[in-house]
């Protein structure tokens, strides 16, 4: 990703797109204080530079029957880069794993796993995760509820900043 200095307009665009990925280009341009054609050029440039990685809908897991969310702390036998990469590639193939984070410290990876019920989660753990090569230990923490779920990062837009 190329290094680009973001101005106020870029940050406004990023903030608005992060909060509402379905916002029309016309509405996005109005909020940024520019016309639609340069707004679209800026959005495309932000995508190409890697600031915008994609667009998605935020689905409700419980409404779709996924009543169990678990955070699994995974310890590996080996932390050699080739083994870490192999674990990450294997996790990519498991749709139950919604997030995978490599950590520094006692735990090598933190996985967010969803399942329809506790039995389905246990089946995933025993047939896939603990059976996987190089996995030494798994500690599970069941999520009781989520009170805050924000994607992305906090973006500050200050009107007094230079616009480019």
| Buried b / exposed e along 62-100 (16+ C-beta atoms within 10 A) | eeeebebbbebbbebeeeeeeebebbeebbeeeebbeeb
Task: Please give the tally of structural domains in the chain.
Answer: 2
Q: Are residues 101 and 76 in the same domain?
A: yes
From edge to edge, which strands make up the β-sheet containing 135-142? Answer: 97-102, 109-115, 68-76, 135-142
Is the predicted pLDDT of residue 161 greater than 80, yes or no?
Answer: no
Mean pLDDT confidence for 64-83 = 97
Residue 1: per-residue pLDDT: 45
Q: Are residues 77 and 34 in the same domain?
A: no
Alpha helices by DSSP H, 6-158: 8-19, 25-32, 36-48, 81-92, 118-124
Q: Which of 18, 20, 25, 70 is nearest to 44 (CA)?
A: 25
Residue 163: per-residue pLDDT: 47
Select the more confidently predicted residue: 163 or 81: 81
- Are 4 and 49 in contact, with CB atoms under 8 Å apart? yes
* pTM (2 d.p.): 0.83
Q: Which domain holds residue 97?
A: 62-142
Q: Are residues 135 and 67 in the same domain?
A: yes
Q: Are residues 14 and 76 in the same domain?
A: no
Q: How confident is the model at residue 139 (pLDDT cuts 50, 70, 90)?
A: very high
Task: Give domain status of residue 71, yes or no.
Answer: yes
Q: How confident is the model at residue 119 (pLDDT cuts 50, 70, 90)?
A: very high
Mean pLDDT confidence for 28-39 = 96
């Amino acid at each position: 990703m190329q290094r680009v200095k973001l101005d106020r307009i870029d940050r406004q665009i990023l903030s608005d797109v992060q909060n509402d990925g379905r916002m029309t280009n016309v509405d996005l341009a109005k909020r940024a204080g520019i016309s639609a054609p340069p707004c679209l050029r800026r959005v495309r440039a932000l995508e190409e530079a890697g600031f915008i990685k994609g667009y998605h809908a935020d689905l409700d897991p419980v409404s779709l029957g996924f009543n169990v969310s678990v955070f699994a702390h995974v310890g590996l036998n080996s932390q050699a880069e080739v083994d870490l990469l192999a674990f990450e590639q294997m996790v990519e193939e498991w749709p139950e794993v919604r997030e995978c984070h490599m950590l520094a410290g006692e735990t090598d990876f933190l996985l967010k796993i969803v399942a329809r019920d506790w039995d389905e989660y246990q089946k995933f753990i025993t047939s896939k995760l603990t059976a996987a090569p190089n996995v030494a230990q798994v500690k599970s923490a069941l999520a009781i509820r989520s009170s805050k779920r924000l994607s992305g990062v906090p973006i500050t837009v200050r009107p007094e900043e230079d616009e480019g």
